[in-house]
Chains A and B, each alone.
Chain A
């Protein structure tokens, strides 16, 4: 049988479907297929894919396909296509994975992950121990840069979020308290709420997104760029040189940020109370001072310090675990934020339960 290609065979041209030819090849006993290309105009990859279909079809049906009459360029390309045969088994088959397998695999991953976290905590503890014996080696300037990055640079976002948190607490409380004409107790609610809970929790969550992710991305990029390997060959311990300054910076800065967030929350509460209800600023502040005790304040501050350690741990852990491709860095940052938030919420619940049991 002879098939003739006529006209332009380019990607956006209207060309006849080859199905007719394929169907004709199927019926009768055609032994050989030759091509005529006298009237072929322009051609590109479209013609090639159709030819490959014909050649493959011919090979399957045992029909000889003679390509010698095709233009030289097409013949050369066809030769390239068939020069290196497809290795047997190279093609990936779409496999269906049962949900049980997925579940099991993620269970095993979780187990590995918990193991990695425990090992990392151990290594960090060793690093801190070395620090206490004044044997840890890192650059003080790194500590200060990290403090600068985590602390003062985070103030604007902390201001905004805490102010709004105080404002929202005040409004929500006011709706109920106004029913009893007890607007003055908004001060109790905002003061205690911010000091004991919201100040530290909000700071923790903001810093997970801001700093935890940044730590993971920084360390991850260093991993991709072999910088961590380079440090190791120069005799530095990455745990001391990279992780310690970050953890120390957060331990140092988080209580201060929490203090600031508490203050901003109270300012937010005062804005609402003083402006919308008949409470003076002085009354509000006096009421806050009566309601909030030093222990409430310290619970919040200590909690925030704990969150700082957890954020630094999760950020650095995911950064150090990072693989060696660019997308791994993104995964590390995402995973650092998720881990950080889980850690914070779990730790917050535990501390609250403990405080409750101890009656503080």
Chain B
């Protein structure tokens, strides 16, 4: 039985008077790898900003385990958000600090652990993402893929229940992107975390997505929901089919090859 973990109700996203998306309603269940997809500029990343408390919705609300994010006072909101982790597109590590200091940052802020314990935790998190031994490197000394994995280690520092990813595979070569996908999946399997991915990488969407919403620019709302593979097989909406097949609609019925991947 799926338990809802994150519920979005009647949400409207807007910059001032300029509405980007309206009437957003969906639920993310515990243990899902939930994909928020759509064409560039449709408001995917803006939606993410609203989910992680960086922007206040023009209307509507977000509920974490039934608890309202925007009705809550600043301290309660902070407590709710403390159970989440975010990996930004570029990793967003603080460039003036080493990887170890970056990963330790949330630990020193929100826990009262001793320095030795924090060091051990940091090494463990870095090892989880395959960066054991890189504690004393500065972000500028690492490659794009390593930066994202380090950002992931920081996002996981407090063992969050929900992990948000903003375009994790953007700017990575196919092999690194695949490794990151595998990492995300095994984190879900072994830590029991819920994963929310904002992406338009078809390969990732089909490889790891277990549920999804599809945002559309013109309709300004969600035009499809469901597991990505099911959407590919059953959706009637030409825009969704177009997106999921890279515009090559006939591929949809082309035998048992991995859908959407050319």
A residues contacting B by CB (< 8 A) are: 137, 142, 145, 221-222, 225-227, 229-236
B92 touches A235 (CB 8 A): no
Indicate if B54 sits at the interface (CB-CB under 8 A). Answer: yes
Chain A residues whose CB sits within 8 angstroms of the CB of B49 once the complex forms: 229
Sample of 22 A–B contacts (CB below 8 Å)? A142-B96, A225-B90, A225-B95, A226-B89, A226-B92, A227-B92, A227-B93, A229-B49, A229-B54, A229-B88, A230-B92, A230-B94, A230-B154, A231-B94, A232-B54, A233-B52, A233-B86, A234-B106, A234-B154, A235-B82, A235-B109, A235-B110
In the assembly, what is the distance between CA of A19 and CA of B86, in Å? 61
In the assembly, what is the distance between CA of A137 and CA of B108, in Å? 10
List 10 A-B pairs, minimum CB-CB distance, nearest first: A230-B92, A226-B92, A226-B88, A233-B86, A234-B106, A227-B92, A233-B52, A235-B78, A227-B94, A229-B54
A236/B92 contact (C-beta < 8 A), A229-B54, A230-B86 known: no
- Contacting residue for A235 out of B89, B96, B106, B154, CB 8 A: B106
Interface centre among A137, A222, A235, A236 (most CB of B within 10 A): A235
Which residue of B is nearest A137, CB measured?
Answer: B109
Q: How many A-B residue pairs have CB under 8 A?
A: 49
Query: How near does chain A come to B185, taking the closest CB pair, in angstroms?
Result: 23
Chain A residues whose CB sits within 8 angstroms of the CB of B109 once the complex forms: 137, 234-236
In the assembly, what is the distance between CA of A235 and CA of B76, in Å? 12
In the assembly, what is the distance between CA of A231 and CA of B86, in Å? 10
Indicate if B39 sits at the interface (CB-CB under 8 A). Answer: no
Indicate if B53 sits at the interface (CB-CB under 8 A). Answer: yes
- Contacting residue for A234 out of B89, B90, B96, B105, CB 8 A: B105
A233 touches B90 (CB 8 A): no
Which residue of A is nearest B89, CB measured?
Answer: A226
Chain A residues whose CB sits within 8 angstroms of the CB of B96 once the complex forms: 142, 145
Chain B residues whose CB sits within 8 angstroms of the CB of A233 once the complex forms: 52-54, 81, 84, 86
Given A225-B92, A229-B54: 15 more A-B contacts, CB < 8 Å: A142-B96, A145-B96, A222-B94, A225-B90, A226-B88, A226-B92, A229-B88, A230-B93, A230-B94, A232-B53, A234-B154, A235-B78, A235-B81, A235-B106, A236-B109
Chain A residues whose CB sits within 8 angstroms of the CB of B86 once the complex forms: 230, 233
B residues contacting A by CB (< 8 A) are: 49, 52-54, 78, 81-82, 84, 86, 88-90, 92-96, 105-106, 109-110, 151, 154
Which residue of A is nearest B166, CB measured?
Answer: A226
Chain B residues whose CB sits within 8 angstroms of the CB of A234 once the complex forms: 105-106, 109, 154
A229 touches B92 (CB 8 A): yes
In the assembly, what is the distance between CA of A221 and CA of B96, in Å? 12
B106 touches A226 (CB 8 A): no
B78 touches A230 (CB 8 A): no
In the assembly, what is the distance between CA of A149 and CA of B109, in Å? 25
In the assembly, what is the distance between CA of A221 and CA of B106, in Å? 21
B81 touches A230 (CB 8 A): no
Query: How near does chain A come to B211, taking the closest CB pair, in angstroms?
Result: 23
Which residue of B is nearest A236, CB measured?
Answer: B109
Chain B residues whose CB sits within 8 angstroms of the CB of A229 once the complex forms: 49, 54, 88, 92
In the assembly, what is the distance between CA of A231 and CA of B82, in Å? 12
Chain B residues whose CB sits within 8 angstroms of the CB of A236 once the complex forms: 105, 109
In the assembly, what is the distance between CA of A137 and CA of B154, in Å? 18
B95 touches A227 (CB 8 A): yes
Query: How near does chain B come to A329, taking the closest CB pair, in angstroms?
Result: 13
B90 touches A226 (CB 8 A): yes
Chain B residues whose CB sits within 8 angstroms of the CB of A222 once the complex forms: 94-95
Which residue of A is nearest B53, CB measured?
Answer: A233
Chain B residues whose CB sits within 8 angstroms of the CB of A227 once the complex forms: 92-95
In the assembly, what is the distance between CA of A137 and CA of B49, in Å? 24
In the assembly, what is the distance between CA of A222 and CA of B82, in Å? 22
In the assembly, what is the distance between CA of A137 and CA of B78, in Å? 15
Chain B residues whose CB sits within 8 angstroms of the CB of A230 once the complex forms: 86, 88, 92-94, 151, 154
Query: How near does chain A come to B148, taking the closest CB pair, in angstroms?
Result: 12
In the assembly, what is the distance between CA of A226 and CA of B89, in Å? 8
Interface centre among A222, A231, A234 (most CB of B within 10 A): A234
In the assembly, what is the distance between CA of A222 and CA of B90, in Å? 11
In the assembly, what is the distance between CA of A221 and CA of B140, in Å? 13
Which residue of B is nearest A224, CB measured?
Answer: B90
Chain B residues whose CB sits within 8 angstroms of the CB of A137 once the complex forms: 109
Chain A residues whose CB sits within 8 angstroms of the CB of B93 once the complex forms: 227, 230
Which residue of A is nearest B106, CB measured?
Answer: A234
In the assembly, what is the distance between CA of A227 and CA of B95, in Å? 9
Query: How near does chain B come to A267, taking the closest CB pair, in angstroms?
Result: 36
In the assembly, what is the distance between CA of A133 and CA of B234, in Å? 60
In the assembly, what is the distance between CA of A97 and CA of B154, in Å? 50
In the assembly, what is the distance between CA of A235 and CA of B105, in Å? 10
Which residue of A is nearest B110, CB measured?
Answer: A235
In the assembly, what is the distance between CA of A233 and CA of B92, in Å? 11
Chain A residues whose CB sits within 8 angstroms of the CB of B82 once the complex forms: 235
Chain B residues whose CB sits within 8 angstroms of the CB of A225 once the complex forms: 90, 92, 95
Chain B residues whose CB sits within 8 angstroms of the CB of A231 once the complex forms: 94
